[in-house]
Amino acid sequence: MDKVRIAMIGAGGMANAVHYPSLAEMDDVEFAGICDLDPERLASTADRYGIDARFSDYRTMIEQTAPDAVYAIMPPHHVFDVAAWCLQQKQNLFIEKPPAVNAFQTRSLAAWAEQSGVKTMVAFNRRFIPVLVRAKELVCQRGEIIQCQASFLKNHLGGGPYYGGAIDILSCDAVHAVDALRWMGGEVAALASVVASYHLPFASAFNAVMRFESGATGVLQTNWSVGKRVHTFELHAAGISAFVDGNGDARIYTDNSEEPRVLVNTEVAGSTEFAHYYGYFAENRHFVDCIKSGRHPMPDLADAAKTMELVERIYASVI
């Protein structure tokens, strides 16, 4: 396969910020068509990326363009019907996180994917942040991870519920930290959590301690009522610790060293572009490579369902 022909469903902010520009950089990707319900958004995105085949109905687009894969980039409460139809048509599919509004919907999509024998990927981009990937590699060279932490903090004071109340913060956004913990520590054997509302009329803080099946410890720290956005990660193994900020750098300490080894995110990524140093380009590259080679992308819908199930366990395990 010289080129992967991709049909794009959605021309909104997220798609235009990271997915269209990432795919447009790849010489082995061709936009087979574009679909959006907003005519102005459709025209401006299609013009920007030179896409001639333009549609307002995704079914018509896929039937007429016969792509190798479909991107459906839209809010989680809109994506289910679109994704299910694509999977039933045996289309390889890439969707944003969260893959649905809950674990049941995600498992349903995963079942459709398995039945159709197609490749799927859910865009949990934190797994692909170059400086975080490199830090994990360095830690794991010393042995198994014994403790890890994902912190995701934001100031959402005065803001309303996500998508007018269609989905909660943990399932929609803080799920990035939940998925990162699974990626770092593995599957969770047991956990205890605190879910609270601070200065907002809905749950805004989700914190948990968990024991992984490996015996390692995981810590989740999220709160949407604090000073500013801070999203950091910690990984610890015997004699080594990594403190990672995907927006900045990673600091690696070994064997009581006072001075850390510093990995700068833009240097590890080889680019100052946000889509590159924050993992979006790499996740898109991974999906395209898997389509070309016949390998299975990760995380797929089945794996994403485990993250959504862990979200529900956090709600069910409040102390």
Q: Which pair of tokens denotes residue 200?
A: 């907002």
Residue 121 DSSP one-character state = E
Structure-block tokens of residue 39: 């005519």
- For the stretch 119-172, pLDDT in tens is 999 999 999 999 999 999 999 999 999 999 999 999 999 999 999 999 999 999
End-to-end CA distance of the chain: 53
Could you tell me which of 273, 315, 236 has the C-alpha nearest to residue 17?
273
Best CA proximity match to 97, nearest among 308, 265, 319: 308
Q: Which domains can be identified in the chain, with CATH numbers?
A: 4-126 (3.40.50.720), 127-316 (3.30.360.10)
Question: Which residues, other chains included, contact 238 with Cβ-Cβ below 8 Å and sequence gap of 6+?
Answer: 142, 143, 146
What SS3 class is residue 221?
A: strand
Q: Which helix (H) or strand (E) holds 105?
A: helix 103-116
Contact indicator for 119, 296 with CB cutoff of 8 Å: yes
Q: Does position 293 have pLDDT exceeding 80, yes or no? A: yes
Q: pLDDT averaged over the chain?
A: 97
**Cα–Cα dist 191/212, whole Å:** 9
For residue 65, the SS3 value is helix
The reported pLDDT for the residue numbered 189 is 98
Beta bridge partners of 209: 192, 219
Distance CA 305, CA 114 (A): 13
Q: Residues 295-305: what's their mean pLDDT?
A: 97
For 39-82, write each residue's pLDDT tens digit: 999 999 999 999 999 999 999 999 999 999 999 999 999 999 99
Q: How confident is the model at residue 221 (pLDDT cuts 50, 70, 90)?
A: very high
Instruction: Please report where in the chains the tokens 């994403």 appear, as a residue.
Output: 304
Cα separation, 55 vs 293, in Å, equals 29
H/E stretch holding 258 reads none
What is the value of pTM for the model shown? 0.96
Q: Is 129 helix (H, G, I), strand (E, B) or coil?
A: coil
Check the CA dihedral 17-18-23-27 and report its sign.
Answer: positive
Q: How high is the pLDDT of residue 35?
A: 98
Rounded Cα distance, 246 and 280, in Å: 12
